[in-house]
Amino acid sequence: LSTLEMVVASSTVPTMSIWRGERREGRRDISRIPNLPRRTARKNILKKGAELRAGDYVTLGDNVIEELLPRKNSLIRPPVSNIDKLLIVIAVRNPDPCFYNIDKMIAVAEYHGIEPVIILNKSDFEDSTGVANVYGALPYRVYNVSASEKNGTDVVANEIKGCTCVLAGVSGVGKSTLL
């Protein structure tokens, strides 16, 4: 297939927005299809037990999702698929980092073949070298940023270019501010 569609919003209702992309030299170019009506999945896809998720690639018929294409990976929570990178956002302080949760997210990413990237946010509040030393010794990229001050966010923007990424982290670490 030269033209693919990607599900970018999923819900319990089998209707979602679709983005179209073209494969070029192993990369995906995805852009919003202007004025495209919301699509509905054919019942035979849903009867097979397939659950459409954000990130799924599908083929489209006449305003209907005809086929769910194979996934390279898939997560249950959040319900996403075909993820290239998991951006694990950690606050240096407020809330304090929970190393158990961070380790768990890294393990899930590795298990599913997703590249984990660690982002230490709120580095303007406190020195982040302690947390950076713990994970910097591992083979993962660690970035110190201050999303509210816009320090280091350009590095994160370069990290996610051309990738399908998911932001993960506990409440209050600055995921929305980073966006």
pLDDT digits (tens, 9 = 90+) for 47-94: 666 778 888 888 877 767 778 889 999 988 888 899 999 999 998 888
Which of 2-6, 12-16, 47-51 bottoms out in mean pLDDT, i.e. has the lowest?
12-16
pTM over 0.95: no
For residue 37, say if its preceding peptide bond is cis, omega within 30 degrees of 0. Answer: no
String of DSSP letters for 105-139: HHHHHHHTT-EEEEEEE-TTTS--HHHHHHHHTTT
Mean pLDDT of 118-144: 82
pLDDT at position 6: 54
pLDDT value of residue 49: 66
**121 with 148: CB under 8 angstroms?**
no
Q: How many CA atoms lie within 13 A of 44 on its CB side?
A: 4
What digits encode the pLDDT tens for the residues 145-156?
Answer: 988 888 888 888
Give which of 168, 5, 172, 3 is closest to 89, Cα–Cα.
168
